[in-house]
């Protein structure tokens, strides 16, 4: 099969298009013929080696985390899916590889594709949808009447998180550029701040939750808008000791995480707020919850561009440039 491969860690290096064997599946997996694959900044970070302490992949490696496609084979222990099912997933860490014609996916990480979505739309959902769900529902327990600040509202995670927070009944503030104000308001943002013209810390006060996805300077300023007892959930770091414990990291790696996050954890504690790092996990059960929201019309995919599979390198460069409105996808079928 054709696949885009990382041969060695390097920033902005082109992926190599290669002929590789169709992967074998484990007893609890299905083999999915990939019709479309979503691209994420995580793919670029893995290619550059930024996550090699957290995710020590063996190279060469097929990249790609999001998939929508059709089941062509099932493992002996699989009960929920059969050949011909249209499905979507964020594949598991250490089994990634959706920039390919076929990919194995664990049964527990898979869900039937929302019937009203195209394959391209479905492929745009899993990673960002699960990230928003795990941050706002699982980690924050966001409730009706609370206030949440979602950074970078026109991006992949931001555009999904705004819609989810609105569905949960929260007041939503976000940042974006002036050209995307109408987009994020249409998604449900109540307060929209043009980050080029205004500093959010001069506008926002007493927030319950911050979903942080930006740099360290933005992280420091975001802590200041939370009320006592509020929660900042970061998907861009720094990783904290709890995360190191969750992934079973080596002692040295856990010590590095403790050091990297010590300042922000200390500042959060002094302010009476919580800080945690979130690295989302694959979950078919949560994807089914997301599918129900999509089917009910509560959430819609925000798709910026669809590239042909042959242009995967161009698509990844476009994602890395940071100007996409919503998600970027490559089409195989």
pLDDT digits (tens, 9 = 90+) for 134-159: 999 999 999 999 999 999 999 999 99
Omega cis (within 30) before 60: yes
Same domain, 140 and 269: yes
Whether residue 286 is contained in a domain is answered as no
How are strands ordered across the β-sheet holding 274-277?
Answer: 191-194, 171-176, 147-150, 207-212, 226-234, 274-277
Whether residue 296 is contained in a domain is answered as no
Whether residue 294 is contained in a domain is answered as no
pLDDT digits (tens, 9 = 90+) for 210-255: 999 999 999 999 999 999 999 999 999 999 999 998 888 889 899 9
pLDDT digits (tens, 9 = 90+) for 44-70: 999 999 998 889 999 999 999 999 999
Same domain, 161 and 27: no
Same domain, 165 and 205: yes
Question: pTM, whole model, 2 decimals?
Answer: 0.97
Q: Domain span at residue 317?
A: 2-125+301-331
The count of domains in the chain is: 2
Angle, nearest 10°, between helix axes 216-223 and 251-271? 40
Tokens for 271, please give them.
Answer: 């302010």
Domain of 206, CATH number, reads: 3.40.50.720
Whether residue 142 is contained in a domain is answered as yes
Residue 19 binned pLDDT confidence (cut-offs 50, 70, 90): very high
Q: How far is CA 114 from the centre of its chain?
A: 18
Same domain, 156 and 253: yes
Instruction: Give the Cα-Cα-Cα angle 236, 246, 213 (nearest 5 degrees).
Output: 10
Whether residue 269 is contained in a domain is answered as yes
Same domain, 121 and 141: no
């Amino acid at each position: 099969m054709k696949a885009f491969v990382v041969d060695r860690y390097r920033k902005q290096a082109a992926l190599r298009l290669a002929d590789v064997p169709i992967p074998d599946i484990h007893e609890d997996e299905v083999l999915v013929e990939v019709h479309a694959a979503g691209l994420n900044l995580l793919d670029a970070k893995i290619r550059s080696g930024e996550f090699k302490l957290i995710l020590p992949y063996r190279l060469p490696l097929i990249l790609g985390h999001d998939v929508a496609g059709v089941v062509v084979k099932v493992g002996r222990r699989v009960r929920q899916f059969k050949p011909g099912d249209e499905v979507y997933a964020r594949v598991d860490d250490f089994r990634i590889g959706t920039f390919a014609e076929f990919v194995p996916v664990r049964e527990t990480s898979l869900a039937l594709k929302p019937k009203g979505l195209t394959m391209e739309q479905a492929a745009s959902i899993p990673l960002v949808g699960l990230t928003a769900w795990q941050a706002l529902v699982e980690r924050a327990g966001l409730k009706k009447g609370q206030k949440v600040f979602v950074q970078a509202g026109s991006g992949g995670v931001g555009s999904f998180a705004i819609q989810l927070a609105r569905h949960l009944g929260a007041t939503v503030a976000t940042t974006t550029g002036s050209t995307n104000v109408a987009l994020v308001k249409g998604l449900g943002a109540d307060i929209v701040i043009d980050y080029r013209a205004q500093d959010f810390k001069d506008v926002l006060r007493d927030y319950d939750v911050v979903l942080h996805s930006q740099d360290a300077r933005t992280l420091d300023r975001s802590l200041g808008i939370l009320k006592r007892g509020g929660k900042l959930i970061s998907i861009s770091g720094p990783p904290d000791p709890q995360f190191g414990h969750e992934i079973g990291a080596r002692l040295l790696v856990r010590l590095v995480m403790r050091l990297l996050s010590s300042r922000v954890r200390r500042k959060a504690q002094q302010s009476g707020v919580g800080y945690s790092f979130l690295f989302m996990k694959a979950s078919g059960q949560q994807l089914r919850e997301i599918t129900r929201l999509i089917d009910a019309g509560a959430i819609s995919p925000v798709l910026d561009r669809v590239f042909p599979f042959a242009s995967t390198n161009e698509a990844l460069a476009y994602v890395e440039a940071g100007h996409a409105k919503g998600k970027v996808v490559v089409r195989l079928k």
